[in-house]
Every structure is written in structure tokens, then in C-alpha cells.
Amino acid sequence: MTPDWLAQVHFDEQGLIPAIAQDAHTGAILMVAWMNSEALAETVATNRAVYWSRSRQRLWRKGEESGHTQNLKEIRLDCDGDVILLRVEQLGGIACHTGRESCFYQRLESDEQGQPYWKSVDPVLKDPSSIYK
């Protein structure tokens, strides 16, 4: 039987819901990932972020390889019940597989001719090759 709180979550046709990870201290948006009901239930049970990896088709326990885990401080559901917000403590200060604090490190800028382009504006804190094997 599905717990009442989980039954109120509206997963999409693939059984997924987008999950936004936000630094509980600074408010910075760290990443967006996907959760299925199993990932969400495990996150709540363990107070550590667990996602659904669409590329690997399996649960992804954030930091299982890198050590950069996310400790859950608060969880919220949006007004439509179809987006999760995780307020987390990001251990190691790195959420992105590129070795940056946040996955949102590219900002849209304009060149001299007014043409838009993406510019990387946040530093790599740790070489990804030293994080992932």
C-alpha cells in the first residue's frame, strides 16, 4: 500500500518527477534530476538524496562514486504536485559531475555583434577525472 504522502505526488507517464536540489544554506540551485517513487521513498527514509538515472535505468544514490552526497534538510512538493524541491547540504561542495559546485555554471551572454553564446562562469573546483573512475 502506498503511503498517503507518496500518493499525493504526481509522477509522469514514465513514473518520474523532476527534482530540484537546492543548497539549504545559500539557496543556490545545484542540479535538477529525476526521481521515481522508490528514489523518493528512499530519500525520505535515509535523509540522503537518491535519484533515478535515466541513462543507467537504475537508482542513483548521489555521491555513490564521488563521495559528494546530499544530506536532506527539507523536502517540498510544488502546488501541482509534479515537482520536488530538495533542500540539501551538499557534502564536498560539488554537485556537478564537471567538478563544479552547481550544474548551472553556464550563463547566456552576447558577443560584440550581439550574438548570444553560453559562457562558463563558475570555476571547476576539482578535476572530474580525480572524482570519477
Q: How many domains does the chain have?
A: 1
Assigned domain for 131 exists: no
Domain span at residue 89? 4-125
Each residue's pLDDT tens digit in the chain (133 positions)?
A: 777 999 999 999 999 999 999 999 999 999 999 999 999 999 999 999 999 999 999 999 999 989 999 999 999 999 999 999 999 999 999 999 999 999 999 999 999 999 999 999 999 999 998 887 6
Assigned domain for 130 exists: no
CATH number, position 95: 3.10.20.810
Amino acid 71: pLDDT: 98
Assigned domain for 103 exists: yes
Distance CA 60, CA 63 (A): 8
Amino acid 61: pLDDT: 96
Q: Are 43 and 72 in contact (CB under 8 A)?
A: yes
How many angstroms from the chain centroid is the CA of residue 89?
12
